[in-house]
Amino acid sequence: MTFDQRLRISLLVLRLSVFLVMFIWTLDKLLRPEHMASVFERYYGISGLGSMAAYVIGGAELLLIIAFLAGLWKRFTYGAVLLLHAVSTFASFGKYIAPFEPHNLLFFAAWPMLAACVALYLLRDSDKMFSL
């Protein structure tokens, strides 16, 4: 297997795994809008979001991640996914300061995913396998 083939497979695996995480987070917004509202209030300081906001945000995010999965408009979609995940990762900064408090270790999984998003963005022109 050539380097180019290994690179394309690696980027596909990264894109699929980032999509999977983003898809579950998006479904959470659509299926549990009250949870999205509590997350936005707790981590972003935005209160008063109702179900309609969750559906609009979740719907827009769903369109974005489907385009990301398809490899469409890579500069925009890969960049937007990177930005969304970076904001989410840095909004949880307090969790990293106290890693051994209950449930805080789980937040550290955000860092390898952020690295995957950065790699995908930087190598987006080489991500061609199953990409439109």
Structure confidence by residue, pLDDT tens digits, 78-97: 999 999 999 999 999 999 99
> Is 46 inside any structural domain?
yes
User: How many domains does the chain divide into?
Assistant: 1
Mean of the per-residue pLDDT values of the chain? 96
pTM metric for this prediction: 0.94
> Is 42 inside any structural domain?
yes
pLDDT bucket at 76, cuts 50 / 70 / 90 = very high
Q: What is the pLDDT of residue 14?
A: 98
> Is 38 inside any structural domain?
yes
pLDDT bucket at 52, cuts 50 / 70 / 90 = very high
Distance (Å) of CA 26 to CA 17, 55, 60: 14, 10, 9
> Is 132 inside any structural domain?
no
> Is 91 inside any structural domain?
yes
How far is the C-alpha of 30 from the C-alpha of 112, rounded, in Å? 26
Q: Which domain holds residue 41?
A: 3-126
